[in-house]
Amino acid sequence: MKKQIKRLLELTAPELIDAYRAINNRRLFGFKFWRLHRHVKMRLFQNRSIEVLTGPFMGMKY
């Protein structure tokens, strides 16, 4: 039954399936890597705000 519903949605509204997958993948990626990102950010920026270092947007908060 679940496969039939999924197949019907893929045929009638593929953009809904794509949106669901995008949201789900973003959530899973964030959950998997948020500790690493926080650790790297703290090591690189020592609790300072992240800013653009060069170019026309130099000094802008990232």
pLDDT, tens only, 1-13: 888 988 888 888 8
Domain residue spans of the chain: 2-45
> Quick one: tokens of 4?
């039939």
Number of residues assigned to the chain: 62
CB 37 within 8 A of CB 28: no
CA distances from 18 to 4, 6, 14, 37 (A): 17, 12, 6, 26
What's the chain's average pLDDT? 87
CA distances from 12 to 18, 22, 54 (A): 12, 18, 47
pTM of the model: 0.50
